[in-house]
Amino acid sequence: MPGPGRPPVYPARSMFLCWLFIYLRVVDSQRRLIDFLNQHPEWKDRLGFERVPDQSTFSWFKNHRARHIFQRIFDETVRCLVRTGIIRGEHVVVDASLFQAYSNPRKKDGSGVPSDSDATWAKETSTGQWVFGYKIHIISCADSELPLAVIVTTGKRNDSPFFPQLISQASRFPIPLSIVGANGNYHSAANHLEAHRLGANTVIPIPDRKHGDPKTLAQRLRLHPIIRRGSELYQLLKRKRQSIERVFSRLKSHFNLDNLRVRGLENVMPHTLLSLTSMLIYALTAAKLGLKNLARSPTRLTI
């Protein structure tokens, strides 16, 4: 259904494909996209445009229509990758990463509020750096290194509470979901119980301290998981947790996640979905062309 505001004039499919051009870095801005379409009328015709949309139309589509269609496109692309066997989903990993807001936190308005009031300060655990921005929570396939579900929050939110929602979203797809890996931030009993409810075994470390005797199923699963901590199998599966770090790295370096140009949590989510969907479509295209190695080593595309 169309979003609020002025009615859409251009086909949603065509507008979405234009945004993919930017997030796949075929072009690096809306202005250059418009120049490209004006200079190459064959692409304008191929996309179904009678005339090239202006910059405000592209922005309006992303900020209004996107909320209604981007999630659906992301989900359908994941299903396509599952059907083709690219995403196996037997072993998945959950983690979160920060990315910078499109705002200078030290430049405030008259009320003392930064230009992006939804962004917050948080410390990136992997680098120790403080970031003013947002946090992307992802569950990804450890083998294909592709995302299955995403949640975006303000930067200061804790990671652990989003674990159940992420694995629940991933379980909607026809995947085995046998093993769920995560770092120690996700060691709560509730997370172990949710994974167990979905038929998955956990590979999650717990703090090195004295623990009392477990009194509930959730506590037993946390302290004594089926895949015993310290075992050879546990160590092997634990190393696969690093795969999600490579997912974050590619999203930021190749699929525009770090190039945020909107403010407010409501507008950051479409940006994030475009970034993730671009990664999925790149992987799907590479596989169909027989170039699966490029799915993990994306380079700048040309058309």
d(CA 159, CA 298) in angstroms, rounded, equals 28
Place of tokens 């921005």: 133
pLDDT computed for residue 64 by the predictor: 77
223 CB-near residues (< 8 Å, 6+ apart): 206, 211, 214
pLDDT computed for residue 256 by the predictor: 93
256 CB-near residues (< 8 Å, 6+ apart): 22, 23, 25, 271, 274, 275, 278
pLDDT computed for residue 1 by the predictor: 43
d(CA 60, CA 254) in angstroms, rounded, equals 24
- 3-state SS of 11-43 is CHHHHHHHHHHHHCCCCCCHHHHHHHHHHCHHH
Question: For residue 103, which amino acid is it?
Answer: S
Instruction: Using DSSP, state whether 239 is helix, strand or coil.
Output: helix
Each residue's pLDDT tens digit in the chain (303 positions)?
Answer: 444 555 446 888 899 999 998 998 888 889 999 999 999 999 999 999 989 999 999 988 887 777 678 999 999 999 999 999 999 999 999 999 999 999 988 876 666 688 999 999 999 887 889 999 999 999 999 999 999 999 999 999 999 999 999 999 999 999 999 999 999 999 999 999 999 999 999 999 998 887 889 999 999 999 999 999 999 999 999 999 999 999 999 999 999 999 999 999 999 999 999 999 999 999 998 888 887 766 777 764 444
Place of tokens 């996209």: 33
Q: pTM for the full model?
A: 0.90
CA dihedral 173, 174, 175, 181 (to 10 degrees): 30
d(CA 241, CA 181) in angstroms, rounded, equals 6
C-beta separation of 274 from 17 below 8 A? no
DSSP letter string, 100-143: E-SS-TT-B-TTS-BS-TT-EEEE-TTT--EEEEEEEEEEEETT
pLDDT computed for residue 296 by the predictor: 74
d(CA 174, CA 89) in angstroms, rounded, equals 9
d(CA 207, CA 167) in angstroms, rounded, equals 22
| Pairing between β-strand 120-123 and β-strand 130-141 as defined by DSSP bridges | antiparallel
232 CB-near residues (< 8 Å, 6+ apart): none
pLDDT computed for residue 143 by the predictor: 95
Domain map of the chain by residue range? Answer: 1-83+269-290
pLDDT computed for residue 177 by the predictor: 97
pLDDT computed for residue 109 by the predictor: 66
